[in-house]
Amino acid sequence: MNTRLKLLRPRNTRFVIGVFFVVAIGLTHPATAQAAETAMPVNFIVGNLWLLIATAMVFLMHLGFATLEAGLTQHKNTVNILFKNVCIVSIGILTYALIGFNLMYPGEEFAGGFFGFSGFWISTDPAGITPAYNENYTYWTDFIFQAMFAATAVTIVSGAVAERIRIEVFLVFALVYVSLCYPIVGMWKWGGGFLDTLDTPFYDFAGSTFVHSVGGWAALVGSIMLGPRLGKYVGRYVHDIPPSNLPLATIGVFLLWFGWYGFNGGSVLSADPGSVSYVFVTTSLGAAAGILGAMLTTIVLIKHLDLAMMLNGALAGLVGITAGADQLGTLDAVITGFVAGGLVVASVLFIDRKLKIDDPVGAISVHLVCGIWGTLAVGIFGNLASIGQFTSQVIGVVSVGAFCGLFSFVVFTVIKRITGLRVTADVEVKGLDHHEHGISGYRGFREEERPLYEKLGGEAAVSATVDLFYKKVLADDRLKGYFEGVDVERLRRHQKSFLAVAFGGGALGTIGQKLRGAHAHLVEQGIGDAEFDRIVDLLEAALAELKVPKELIGEALQTIDGLRNDVLNR
């Protein structure tokens, strides 16, 4: 991703600050259909198409992060993680359109060494969709490709702070970080800022530093400031909290790898055959070597075959190769990836066991540690390797780290003062899904095994329900008439054994016949849906009064409803 100064981007002064949700009927007319298609250069058509396809591939990385993080954390926090990841995509794209793109690529006119801003919201004139904007892509392609990168950076944070951060805190942090910190830092190089104008310019091809370490620094600061999950470090005890769904985590890593072909391959910013194909090769070799490095290191340090570490090894190799994917030789790519794979295992263990920083998914090790390693590798291996380059790489790493670390610290500190960062201990132990979302990520995997009868509390509970239910029935104006002269005590016994069968998962078919017989005379007396519904209402009231959980009430009523036609002899 080379520096691209936007000489031709027109400033649209019509769009004022805060216009975001103002109804703008007829105000905005896309300048698309008017473009003459005559004689467009091949580079422009093909390069543009490739960047759009790469955009879609990078989009899929968000699913990769969502599934990886949900897979590596605990069962009870799954919905919370997914929720955060869905929100981030929305926040990332919208804020990047509102402010981020124009902060990161302000164009020559507005650029500075450290900061530049060319106004709110995205827009272009007709030239923006011609090679006059860029010989390889349109203004819109430029925006949407970069927008997907922006959202990626913050997603990295969500894994490190998972399972204990308050959801509002995370969303506010993500909003501020992606709107301001990510684009300001990115501008330093990709927007033509001071790191691009060093004597030996800092080099970061696709974002080992500007995407991965930017996310990684916030992950580091966030997880330190939040503190570890409860029980993670108690006394001298280090508690390994195992992942809940490794197939899901594996899906995540493969999707990230797939998306990385767009992330790195698209960062060529053209469809140049030599460059894009070469980047595909180094990216693949880096990832493959990362797995190998992680495997060998794991065998030495952990002494068993740890799938999660292997998955992190693949990601480590990918993060590591990202800064120099177009500059490293093929063997350099293997070495860089292999070292990254080993590094990530050692780093996870060091951060977890020695530094006692709790990072549930290893995001700091993957994105920050390997992001730094990959950035430095550009100064060590490949076409650019030199003392001067290495020095520039160190300058870039340090300056980005200082800014992002400070930025994160300030934002988290302000939020902490206002609302606090963590959920309460009670919520954390029970799981964030229950408290913040009122739902479980995986319902029915456990509770359906036991028959409803048992879940309701067995004989005692069903008996209590029936007693209360009949009390209500016999007091009900519409229904009590039907029970005159009936031996209620006997009925109650029948009802108890009937419910034992019905709620016991028994065959409803056989009950059906008995019910038909038992209710035939009532049907002749005229009972119908109204009475049946009334009965169901009273049963619900009885169950609710006995504090039966809402879900079980639903299940009970579902069962009863299945017998309506039998009761009513239809």
Q: Which residues in the 464-483 window bind a second copy by CB under 8 A?
A: none
Question: Do residues 189 and 5 lie in contact, with contact meaning Cβ atoms separated by under 8 Å?
Answer: no
Q: Which is nearer to a second copy, 117 or 390 (CB)?
A: 390
CB nearer a second copy, residue 113 or residue 231: 231
Per the CB < 8 A criterion, the answer to whether 340 and 347 are in contact is no
Helices within 302-386 (DSSP H only): 307-322, 330-349, 363, 370-380
Q: Any idea which residue has 């009900």 for tokens?
A: 476
Reference 223, options 170, 153, 151; nearest CA is 170
Instruction: Establish if 20 lies at the interface with a second copy (CB under 8 A).
Output: yes
Q: Which of 223, 267, 282, 392 binds a second copy (CB under 8 A)?
A: 282
Contact between 328 and 378 under an 8 Å Cβ cutoff? The reply is: yes
CB of 510 to a second copy, least distance (A): 10
Phi–psi pair at 238, nearest 5 degrees: -105, 115
Binding of a second copy by 555 (CB under 8 A): yes
Amino acid at 395: I
Q: How near is the Cβ of 268 to a second copy at its closest, in Å?
A: 9
554 is an interface residue for a second copy by CB under 8 A: yes
Give least dist CB 140 to a second copy, A.
4
316 vs 404, beta carbon nearer a second copy: 316
CA pair distance 540, 501, nearest whole angstrom: 18
- Using DSSP's 3-state secondary structure scheme, residue 84 falls into helix
Between 353 and 493, CB nearer to a second copy: 353
422 - beta bridge partners? 165
Task: Tell me how far CA of residue 509 lies from CA of 452, 500, 501, 512, 566, in angstroms.
Answer: 17, 15, 11, 5, 9
Tell me how many residues contact a second copy (CB under 8 A).
183
The 148-187 site mask, x for binding a second copy (CB under 8 A), equals -------------------x--------------------
Q: Which of 28, 419, 513, 525 binds a second copy (CB under 8 A)?
A: 28
- Segment near a second copy (CB under 8 A); pick from 360-368, 387-395, 426-434, 465-473: 426-434
Nearer to a second copy, 169 or 400 (CB): 169
223, 245, 365, 393: which one binds a second copy (CB under 8 A): 245
Q: Is 203 near a second copy (CB under 8 A)?
A: no
Long-range CB contact pairs, 443-452, < 8 A, 24+: 451/503, 451/504, 451/505, 452/503, 452/504, 452/505, 452/552, 452/555, 452/556, 452/559
Identify the residue among 18, 438, 485, 526 touching a second copy (CB under 8 A): 438
Which residues are CB-neighbours of 145 under 8 A, at least 6 positions away? 51, 52, 54, 55, 58, 137, 266
**Helix ranges (DSSP H) in 177-235:** 182-187, 214-226
Using DSSP's 3-state secondary structure scheme, residue 238 falls into: strand
Residue 274 or 526: which CB sits closer to a second copy? Answer: 274
State how far the Cα of 122 lies from the Cα of 95, in Å rounded to an integer. Answer: 11
Q: Decide: is 565 part of the binding site for a second copy (CB under 8 A).
A: yes
By CB under 8 A, is residue 60 in contact with a second copy? yes
Nearer to a second copy, 430 or 493 (CB): 430
Q: Taking the mean position of all CA atoms in its chain, how far away is CA 22?
A: 29
Question: Which positions from 482 through 541 interact with a second copy, judged by CB under 8 A?
Answer: 505, 507-509, 533-537, 540
**Min CB(115)–a second copy separation in Å:** 25
Q: Which of 446, 441, 464, 489 is nearest to 546 (CA)?
A: 464
Rounded CA-CA distance 45/130 in Å is 10
**Minimum gap (Å) between residue 135 Cβ and a second copy:** 10
Q: Is 125 left (phi over 0), alpha (psi -120 to 50) or beta?
A: beta
Amino acid at residue number 513: Q
Q: Is residue 209 at the binding interface for a second copy, with CB under 8 A as the rule?
A: no
Rounded to the nearest whole angstrom, what is the least distance from the CB of residue 161 to a second copy in the complex? 17
Residue choice 307, 406, 474, 520 for contact with a second copy (CB under 8 A): 307
| Of 196, 204, 306, 352, the one binding a second copy by CB under 8 A | 306
If one asks whether residue 281 binds a second copy (CB under 8 A), the answer comes out as yes
The footprint of a second copy on residues 33-52 (CB under 8 A) is 33, 35, 37, 40, 42-46, 48-50, 52
Kindly identify the residues of this chain, within the stretch 224-243, that bind a second copy according to CB under 8 A. 229-232, 234-237, 239-243
By the rule CB under 8 A, 318 interacts with a second copy: no
List the one residue from 53, 172, 349, 479 that touches a second copy (CB under 8 A): 53
CA 382, CA 334: separation in Å to the nearest integer? Answer: 12
- What's the rounded Cα separation, in Å, for the pair 463 and 493? 9
| 387 is an interface residue for a second copy by CB under 8 A | no
Quick one: tokens of 394? 């160190």
Q: Strand 233-234 relative to strand 237-238: parallel, antiparallel, unpaired?
A: antiparallel
Binders of a second copy in range 445-464 (CB under 8 A): 445-449
Cα(285)–Cα(296) distance, rounded to whole angstroms? 16
Interface with a second copy by CB under 8 A: which range of 69-77, 216-224, 345-353, 483-491?
Answer: 69-77
The stretch near a second copy (CB under 8 A) out of 75-83, 105-113, 396-404, 464-472 is 75-83
First and final CA of the chain: distance in angstroms?
72
Query: Least distance in Å: CB of 295 to a second copy?
Result: 7
Task: List residues bridging with 237 in a β-sheet.
Answer: 234
Is residue 250 a contact residue for a second copy (CB under 8 A)? Answer: yes
Q: Does residue number 417 form part of the binding site for a second copy (CB under 8 A)? A: no
CB of 511 to a second copy, least distance (A): 10
